């Protein structure tokens, strides 16, 4: 990977990586650190990473850092962070807000799996390569997360 490829990766994936890190950590400042560290690691290993594999590489690094970051640090509750109004535009129905709140009910790994699936559109196999899980494990963990989200949505009155 050359310099121009690296800079193209910044332009294409920095925002998506930031969103992923924000939802995983629940903290914007931590999310910026995750993004910066992820790109720094990519730069250090740019000779061994093909441009086509850069996105998966970035999310793999961000996943590892986000999950470790959430586990190591005792921070203010994720719930408070997730209630940032910036994430919900005015006029939007309650569904999205409830979903954001439901996301906080998941553990860090399940949350990351759902984000990788819904935000980035990775399939089970790709998610397994990013997270280090096998395809069956990804499917099981993801379905558990789906069930938790569904039951939370159903439990909230007037949402569904």
Binding site for other proteins (CB under 8 A): 2-3, 6-7, 10-11, 14-19, 22, 32, 35-36, 39, 43, 47, 86-87, 89, 95-96, 99, 102-103, 114-115, 117-119, 121, 123-124, 142-143, 146-147, 149-150, 153-154, 160
Contacts of 23 (CB under 8 A, 6+ apart): 82, 103, 111, 115, 119
Mapped onto helix, strand or coil, the DSSP state of residue 45 is: coil
The residue (of 68 and 119) whose beta carbon lies closer to other proteins is: 119
17 or 67: CB nearest other proteins: 17
Closest listed residue to residue 65, CA positions, set 143, 130, 13: 130
Q: How far is the CB of 133 from other proteins (least distance, A)?
A: 15
Distance CA 6, CA 71 (A): 30
């Amino acid at each position: 990977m050359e310099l121009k490829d690296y800079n193209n990766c910044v332009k294409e994936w920095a925002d998506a990586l930031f969103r992923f890190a924000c939802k995983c950590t629940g903290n914007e400042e931590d999310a910026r650190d995750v993004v910066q560290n992820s790109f720094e690691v990519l730069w250090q290993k740019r000779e061994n990473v093909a441009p086509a594999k850069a996105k998966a590489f970035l999310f793999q690094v961000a996943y590892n850092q986000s999950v470790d970051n959430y586990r190591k640090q005792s921070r203010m509750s994720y719930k408070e962070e997730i209630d940032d109004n910036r994430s919900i535009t005015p006029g939007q129905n309650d569904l999205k807000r409830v979903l954001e709140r439901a996301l906080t009910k998941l553990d860090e790994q399940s949350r990351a799996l759902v984000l990788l699936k819904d935000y980035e559109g990775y399939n089970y196999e790709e998610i397994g390569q990013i997270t280090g899980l096998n395809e069956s494990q990804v499917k099981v963990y993801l379905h558990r997360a789906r069930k938790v989200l569904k039951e939370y949505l159903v439990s909230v009155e007037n949402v569904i």
